[in-house]
Structure formats: C-alpha cells, structure tokens
Amino acid sequence: DGGITQSPKYLFRKEGQNVTLSCEQNLNHDAMYWYRQDPGQGLRLIYYSQIVNDFQKGDIAEGYSVSREKKESFPLTVTSAQKNPTAFYLCASSTQEGEATDTQYFGPGTRLTVL
C-alpha cells in the first residue's frame, strides 16, 4: 500500500537531548512537509522540501533541522535549542505538478514528550 509512515509513534526525550523523527513515503511525491500541532491550535509549518537536496524554513523553524537526501525520506531533528518541543509532529507529502491544488497527504504522526 502506498502511504506515509512516521516512526516512532511515541517518543520521550530528556531535556538537552537531540532527537530525530523519521518520515518515509512511497507515493513518489516530490514535496514533503513537517508540521507541529499543539492542543487547541492548528498545524504550523516547520520545514518543507520541494525537491531532493533542497528545503526551506517554514513559520517555526527555530530549534529544528531537516535533510532531504532521498526522495522518499525527510527526517526532522528536534534540537536542544527548541524551547518547548513537546508536541504532536506530522509529516506530509504532495505532488508538485505546478498546481496550487496539489493535495497534501499526512502520516500518522509522532507524539514527542520532553521529560
């Protein structure tokens, strides 16, 4: 089945540690995205990538880093510089056919808790 997988589903981290969240897609999509979701708020864009080896900051990139070495993979690292990392993280992907209506498909999410 085609889709987006995120791992792990739950992640616990001690303060001061970096942690990497995995996102893999087999939809052959060019574009991938990372969002953060907090209770009572909508999703906020952290980083996005429209093509391999290229990515751009979203609205809340501080304290996060990404890489896009393969089309299928877009891992997100939450660094110790992120002041409040406890949140639900969602990865998405979409085609890039030149239309603003390309639909974004979402993974199941990773819930990160800082202890």
Partner 1 sequence: AQSVTQLGSHVSVSEGALVLLRCNYSSSVPPYLFWYVQYPNQGLQLLLKYTSAATLVKGINGFEAEFKKSETSFHLTKPSAHMSDAAEYFCAVIKDSSYKLIFGSGTRLLVRP
5: amino acid identity, one letter: T
How big is the site for partner 1, counted in residues (CB under 8 A)?
28
80 binds partner 1 (CB under 8 A): no
Report the C-alpha gap between 80 and 78 in whole angstroms.
7
3 state DSSP class of 77: strand
Beta strands 54-57 and 110-114 are unpaired
Of the ranges 12-20, 68-76, 85-93, which one interacts with partner 1 (CB under 8 A)?
Answer: 85-93
Radius of gyration, alpha carbons of the chain: 13
**Shortest Å, Cβ 81 to partner 1:** 23
Taking CB under 8 A as the binding criterion, the range among 12-20, 63-71, 72-80, 94-102 that sits at the site for partner 1 is: 94-102
Q: Find the binder of partner 1 among 22, 67, 86, 104 (CB under 8 A).
A: 104
Q: How many helices (H) and strands (E) does the chain have?
A: 0, 11
Positions that interact with partner 1 (CB under 8 A):
4, 6, 31, 40-45, 48, 50, 58, 88, 90, 92, 94, 96, 100-109, 111
